[in-house]
Chains A and B, each alone.
Chain A
Amino acid sequence: MDEQPKLRPSGSKLAYIPGAEVIGRIDPWWGLVVLVIGIMVILFTVRADPFWNIAVFVGDGILVTILITVSSFALTLVVGLIGGLGRLARNPFLHGIATLYVEIVRGIPLLVQLIWWYFAFPTVVQQIGEWLNISVIANYQANPIFTAIMGITVCYGAYMSEIYRAGIQSIPKGQTEAARSLGMTHFQSMRHVIIPQAVRVVLPPVGNELIALLKDSCLVSVVAVADLTRRGREFMAVHFNPIEVWTMVALIYLVMTLLLARLVAWIEKRSHFER
């Protein structure tokens, strides 16, 4: 009596391929993350001075970079939604404001924007304060981290607005018509029908923005924020070893972006749906 081999896990709809379950569940790109971390570990063990010393020195910079990335990105999601809805608004005033914002911000390099917010904006605020004779405003001083988060949010919010706009526009018009024909208001159909579908559409580009934002956050190092890049420069200014410092900084950024890419891929996979 030959027994049917129990190879196929019960309940699985996938065709059975020997060994596929084990490999299939793990994203092969994790290998690259492991490789890069491996290189770092080797550098730390083989030459603790300077590599380990660099890593310890820039440690607080890594935290600042993560702080700026996470907070600006969270704010960007909100600003982008408002901007995207503004771009789609039938009200010409709202549409005009949103379009003006996107067009202006998109046309100025992020570095120049950050420098403007840090060096020019406080003076503008101070002069307005003097003119209004309000001492709190007249004595306004720029807080580097706050300014950096604001600057990045304003810039990336504009890009995000366009992503949201395109995502919302990609949802067939019939979805809105069906919702409205059932008596739902414009707001209700946006909230319950259009935006939930648009979010799934925009996940890949939004994920790209998150990774791009992490990398662009190094620009804040020019406006007195002690992020990873600036801490690297400070270390080099003392020890004059550019190869080691910038290799280390590059590897740390790489690990962070690779991890983010895995996170984005995982979220995308989980929220995938067919239409």
Chain B
Amino acid sequence: MEPIIHIENIHKHFGKVHALRGVGLDVHKGEVVVIIGPSGSGKSTLLRCINHLEKYDVGRIVVDGIHLDSAQNINAVRQEVGMVFQLFNLFAHLTVVENLTLAQRTVRKRSKDESEKIALDLLEKVGIPDKAQAYPIQLSGGQQQRVAIARALAMNPKVMLFDEPTSALDPEMIKEVLDVMLALAKEGMTMVVVSHEMGFARAAANRMILLDEGVIVEEATPDKFLTSSNERTRLFLSKVLHM
């Protein structure tokens, strides 16, 4: 079966820093892939290459049969790929429901009524239907991140990318966001998640990947990954698991 995300030999430089050094990865429909790695290892960069928020210098990425090689294709891919950011990035001047309807109306060309209905259903799903008329500033971090997930889902994406979705949250809010992500994984959403939440990885991931200095060090199922004999994997896991 064709993978929904095909990444081939990606290289990326930031000035003199060689951030990604020939990364290749295939993600199949319905898979949940969790990427971990030390800061500066290139994991966010790799994720951002998938919807071309970051340009890569060398290599090939094909998402759902669309090759990321022209402006039209990039916009076409972005419509199929939802992204959730570390700092939520909700539109500060719009209410929650307007955050959810803006792209539906401008990109998907849905009517006001239709997009609002979809928005309210999704807010129900992420557990905050009562905040539809609130502004982002009036919400807690966990609520903002759940709105951000709903905003991405409103576009009916085939793939969801999560860039450290819980690392800017207070500890007591992490669970409410992870619960939404877990439910999404159970529904069969294809997800690529950059996160050090091992509990989530254990519960939801089909595969885990350790990225270090721009290369994939290890790639395995959570069971194998967490009991890996690879020196670098064990060293890194010992740090994130506080063992």
Contacts and interface: CB of A to CB of B under 8 A. Distances in A.
B239 to A, nearest CB: 28
B53 A181 contact: yes
Contacts, number: 67
B89 A177 contact: yes
Contact of A175 (B75, B89, B137): B89
Contact of A182 (B76, B78, B135, B137): B78
A180 B155 CA distance: 13
B93 A273 contact: yes
A211 to B, nearest CB: 26
A5 interface: no
Interface stretch (B26-34, B100-108, B180-188, B200-208): B100-108
A178 B75 contact: no
A131 to B, nearest CB: 43
Interface string A148-186: 000000000000000000000000101101111111110
18 contacts: A172-B89, A175-B91, A178-B85, A178-B89, A180-B78, A182-B79, A182-B103, A182-B107, A182-B155, A183-B75, A183-B103, A184-B102, A184-B103, A188-B107, A197-B93, A200-B93, A274-B137, A275-B137
Interface of B: 51, 53, 75-76, 78-79, 81-83, 85, 87, 89-93, 102-103, 106-107, 135, 137, 148, 151-152, 155
Interface of A: 172, 174-175, 177-185, 188, 192-193, 196-197, 200, 273-275
Given A183-B107, A183-B155, 13 more contacts: A174-B85, A175-B91, A178-B83, A178-B90, A182-B107, A182-B155, A183-B78, A188-B106, A188-B107, A192-B102, A273-B93, A273-B135, A274-B135
